[in-house]
Amino acid sequence: MLKSKSSLSYHKKSAHTQDYPHRCDICGKGYIKYNRMVNCLNNHQGIFKYRCPECDYKSNKLIQFKEHVNMHTGEKSFYCPVCKHKSSGTKNLGCHIKQVHKMTLCQAEVAYRTNRFGEPMTDDQIEDMKVRMSSLSNYNEKIVQELKSTSETTEVHTNSTEDA
């Protein structure tokens, strides 16, 4: 359930209508938030916010950058929102949460209102996460339906060829 009209509007635009007010001029990908579109443009143009002091790695995404730096330092800067287990990357953290707590990392962040850095999440961050989870769920359902449709078509074709 969404808490405000703006959250509902955001959800409808991203999950249902795909009516994005901002589009990358280079690849055409749509964004609801202007700063995300700017990050896309910057990636295409080779402009990066974060640069590794140890090697040539660069990124505009803080999480990916932190995971990369952790590779050099061995630091575990990601925390389980449920039990505060420490991890060096989100993949390992996601596996921990799935195995131990039987949910996804995003579900744990929303349920415990704490992000993967161990910080409390704002209502806006939680709503944004819910929208992203909903969009991903809709996307996954669409893929499953397409796979079912493809396998049914293949079965019909196989059966009709066997009968001939």
41 lies in the same domain as 97: no
Residue 10 in any domain: the answer is: no
Q: Tell me, what's the pLDDT at 112?
A: 95
DSSP string, 51-107: E-SSSS-EES-HHHHHHHHHHHH----EE-TTT--EESSHHHHHHHIIIIISS-HHH
Q: Residue 49: helix, strand or coil by DSSP?
A: coil
CA terminus-to-terminus distance, the chain: 54
Query: Are 86 and 30 in the same domain?
Result: no
Establish if 67 belongs to a structural domain.
Answer: no
Residue 62 falls within a domain, yes or no? no
Q: What is the pLDDT of residues 17-64, one digit of tens each?
A: 677 888 999 999 988 889 889 999 999 999 999 999 999 999 988 889
Q: How far apart are CA 153 and CA 62, in angstroms?
A: 44
Residues 87 and 140 in one domain: yes
Q: Which residues contact 103 (CB under 8 A, 6 or more apart)?
A: 97, 111
What is the domain extent for residue 29?
A: 19-48
pLDDT: which is higher, 160 or 94: 94
> Which of 1 and 122 is assigned the larger pLDDT?
122
Q: Which two tokens stand for residue 115?
A: 């992000």
The two structure tokens encoding residue 84: 């505060």
Residue 135 lies in a domain: yes
Across 64-73, 83-92, 150-159, least confident range: 150-159
- What CATH number did the domain enclosing 27 receive? 3.30.160
pLDDT at 153 over 70: no
pLDDT at residue 162 in the model: 53
- Looking at the structure, tell me whether residues 81 and 136 fall in a common domain: yes
Is the residue at 163 inside a domain?
no
More confident residue, 15 or 19: 19
- Shared domain check, 134 and 89: yes
Q: Give the global pTM.
A: 0.56
Better-scored residue on pLDDT, 87 or 141: 87
Q: Is the pLDDT of residue 70 over 60?
A: yes
Judgement on whether residues 84 and 137 belong to the same structural domain of the protein: yes
> What pLDDT does 143 receive?
67
pLDDT in tens, 96-146: 999 999 999 999 999 999 999 999 999 988 988 888 777 666 666 666 676
Q: Answer yes or no: is 139 within a domain.
A: yes
Q: How far apart, in Å, are the Cα atoms of 32 and each of 29, 125, 133?
A: 10, 14, 15
In a domain, residue 63? The reply is no
Residue 105 belongs to some domain of the structure: yes
117, 124 contact by CB (below 8 A)? no
Residues 38 and 88 in one domain: no
> Quick one: 36 and 89 in the same domain?
no
How far is the C-alpha of 114 from the C-alpha of 78, rounded, in Å?
A: 11
How many separate domains does the chain show?
Answer: 2
Q: Is the pLDDT of residue 80 over 60?
A: yes
Sign of the alpha-carbon torsion through 63, 65, 71, 74: negative
